[in-house]
């Protein structure tokens, strides 16, 4: 691809948000927003899982953006316990939509803490068609707000996730599988931990397969 990944700054509610952006050559390409893990535990938009997810969308001809939440990297502001980060994600999606107003689909994705923010954003933005939640933490964060979950999506987790006991994932899977009109796929990666260390290629394979399947009709 000739198009380059651009470093940009997006106007956010607490000041400028640092972001990376790739624009597809097709005006009607789908769009995706990719959200970082927890800022207070070293999370940034340059986290390896976030970057791999960003490139998976790129490789499938999306216009895609990943963003540093407030107080991370060159972004203004300071950590706001999730509420401010949700506002940052909404501002980034606003910008991405303005840049790609003819988009065919709108996706949101997040890793760890970012998956919580992605799912909260999903509940507030009816234009989002699909989601990808990577290493969600239902043992730490309450996902009961997904009742009902408004759209289909993918949840990916490592079977050796040292931060999330599998019974919490199984319970979330059971609750979402009982909902009508949507399909949330749960995919486990056998030897992967929470961060998919040494299992990034297996994660990317799963992401690519799901993205290709869900964009085939567009």
Q: What is the pLDDT of residue 103?
A: 96
| Cα–Cα distances in angstroms (integers) from residue 34 to residues 10, 49, 69, 121, in the given order | 14, 10, 11, 12
| Cα–Cα distances in angstroms (integers) from residue 1 to residues 19, 58, 73, 104, in the given order | 20, 9, 27, 20
Q: What is the pLDDT of residue 3?
A: 72
Instruction: Please give the average per-residue pLDDT across 105-128, as a whole number.
Output: 98
Cα distance between residue 177 and residue 187, in whole Å:
13
Residue 85 contacts residue 117 (beta carbons within 8 Å): yes
Cα distance between residue 136 and residue 194, in whole Å:
9
Other Cβ atoms less than 10 A from the Cβ of 171: the count is 14
pLDDT in tens, 162-190: 999 999 999 999 999 999 999 999 999 99
pLDDT in tens, 87-98: 999 999 999 999
Q: Which pTM does this prediction carry?
A: 0.97
Work out the percent of the chain whose per-residue pLDDT is above 90.
Answer: 97
Is 218 a residue whose pLDDT tops 80? no
Extract the tokens encoding 50: 């976030």
Q: Which residues pair with 156 in a beta bridge?
A: 134, 187
Handedness of CA 117, 119, 124, 130 (dihedral sign): positive
Cα distance between residue 27 and residue 103, in whole Å:
7
In the block, residue with structure tokens 């290709």: 212
Residue 36 contacts residue 88 (beta carbons within 8 Å): no
Please name each of the domains of the chain with its CATH number: 6-215 (3.40.50.1820)
pLDDT in tens, 184-207: 999 999 999 999 999 999 999 999
Instruction: Please give the average per-residue pLDDT across 146-160, as a whole number.
Output: 96
pLDDT bracket for residue 1 (50, 70, 90): very low
Is 215 a residue whose pLDDT tops 60? yes
Q: What is the pLDDT of residue 98?
A: 98
- The burial of 202, by beta-carbon neighbours within 10 Å (0-12 exposed, 13-18 middle, 19 or more buried), is given as middle
Is 2 a residue whose pLDDT tops 60? no
Cα distance between residue 64 and residue 6, in whole Å:
11
Cα distance between residue 6 and residue 20, in whole Å:
6
Q: Which of 99, 89, 155, 156 is nearest to 122 (CA)?
A: 89
Residue 211 contacts residue 29 (beta carbons within 8 Å): no
Mean pLDDT estimate for the chain: 96
Q: What is the pLDDT of residue 216?
A: 87
């Amino acid at each position: 691809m000739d198009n380059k990944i651009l470093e940009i700054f997006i106007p956010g509610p607490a000041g400028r948000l640092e972001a990376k952006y790739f624009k597809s050559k097709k005006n009607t390409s789908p769009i995706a927003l990719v959200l970082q893990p927890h800022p207070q535990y070293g999370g940034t938009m340059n986290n390896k899982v976030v970057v791999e997810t960003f490139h998976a969308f790129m490789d499938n001809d999306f216009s895609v953006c990943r963003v540093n939440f407030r107080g991370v990297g060159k972004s203004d502001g300071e950590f706001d316990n999730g509420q401010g980060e949700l506002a940052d994600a909404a501002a980034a999606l606003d910008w991405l939509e303005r840049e790609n107003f003819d988009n065919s689909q709108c996706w949101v994705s997040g890793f760890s803490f970012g998956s919580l923010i992605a799912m909260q954003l999903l509940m507030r933005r009816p234009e989002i068609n699909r989601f990808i939640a990577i290493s969600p933490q239902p043992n730490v964060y309450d996902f009961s707000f997904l009742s009902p979950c408004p759209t289909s999506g993918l949840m990916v987790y490592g079977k050796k996730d040292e931060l999330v006991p599998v019974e919490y994932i199984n319970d979330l899977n059971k609750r979402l599988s009982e909902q009508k009109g949507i399909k949330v796929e749960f995919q486990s990666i056998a030897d992967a931990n929470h961060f998919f260390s040494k299992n990034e290629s297996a994660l990317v394979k799963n992401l690519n397969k799901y993205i290709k399947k869900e964009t085939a009709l567009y």
